[in-house]
Amino acid sequence: MTERVKLTIDDIPVEADKGAKILQAALDAGIYIPHLCYLPEADLPFGGCRLCYVEVEGRGLVTACTQPVSEGLVVRTDTPGAARLRRTAFKLMIAYHDLDCRKCWKNKKCELQKLAPKLKVKLKTPEEFRALPTEQLPLDTTNPYLRYDPNRCVLCGKCVQICTIRNGKSLIDFVNRGYETRLALSSSMTLIEENCPSCGQCVAICPTAGLEPQSGLEALMDRTGEE
Ligand code: FES
């Protein structure tokens, strides 16, 4: 049987499996901590979005999705330091994001729109976090089933994680570094036919409009259904 540990989160007593992450323990106890890139089913925490900062007694500011619980841990989600880091991480995330939401097909279903009020951040371009001028990047339509919009992608890595979980090896991956970081979708039909189960989870899990199905995905799913 898995050992249980007792901790407190915002003075609320919480019990969790030893080794569980603080974020999961909080969510299971009904305590909300902002988060975006966290996938409970992933073997290793990704820790990319930095929206889940909390303060832990004796450890300082940590990301709740990467830090395990332990006996007697004292966690605070509401300190000024944690809130400031979460807001900064969010502003960096939207600094180059196309915020013309009315023209976006994901408008009103976008996770950024839900997170902004929780983080007390206005969903408008934070000019102080921009180092480069605005540039509309071309869409990547080379994959027959998915369309990638780098102007709407926030590089949360959820599509990469879910594809790895489903297939053992992701058909989507990060390329380049820094401001040039993008997602690359496999456009090799051999790789796609051999490895893509056409589950559509990469599109379903995308929190923004970064990934969109192309008509080929439906065709592939129909074909898979016949087999
Ligand atoms: S949810 Fe913790 S870093 Fe993204």
Ordered mean pLDDT values, 10 residues apiece, the chain (227 residues): 94 96 98 97 92 97 97 97 98 94 95 97 90 86 91 96 90 92 88 83 95 70 45
Question: Ligand 1 centroid to 143 CA: how many Å?
Answer: 28
Counting other chains too, the contacts that 72-78 makes at CB distance below 8 Å and 24 or more residues apart are 72/5, 72/6, 72/7, 73/5, 73/7, 73/8, 73/22, 74/7, 74/8, 75/7, 75/8, 75/9, 75/10, 75/22, 75/26, 76/9, 76/10, 77/9, 77/10, 77/26, 77/31, 77/32, 77/33, 78/10
Residue 168 is predicted with a pLDDT of: 86
- Ligand 1 within 6 A of 36 CB? yes
- Ligand 1 within 6 A of 50 CB? yes
What single-letter amino acid sits at 112?
L
Residue 135 is predicted with a pLDDT of: 83
So where are the chain's domains?
1-135, 136-227
90 and 115 Cβ atoms separated by less than 8 Å = yes
- CA 61 centroid distance within chain: 20
Q: What is the pTM of this model?
A: 0.90
197 and 224 Cβ atoms separated by less than 8 Å = yes
Torsion of CA 156, 161, 163, 168, to 10 degrees: 160
Q: What ligand 1 atom has the least distance to the C-alpha of 37? A: 4
Residue 103 is predicted with a pLDDT of: 93
Q: Which residue among 38, 93, 156, 161 is best mutated to probe the pocket of ligand 1, counting the most ligand atoms within 8 A of its Cβ?
A: 38
- Could you please state the CATH topology (level 3) that the domain comprising 1-135 is classified under: Ubiquitin-like (UB roll) (3.10.20)
Q: 189-218: buried (b, 16+ CB within 10 Å) or exposed (e) per residue?
A: eeebeebbebebebbeebbbbbbbbeeebe
Class of domain 136-227: alpha beta
Burial class (CB in 10 A: 0-12, 13-18, 19+), 69: buried
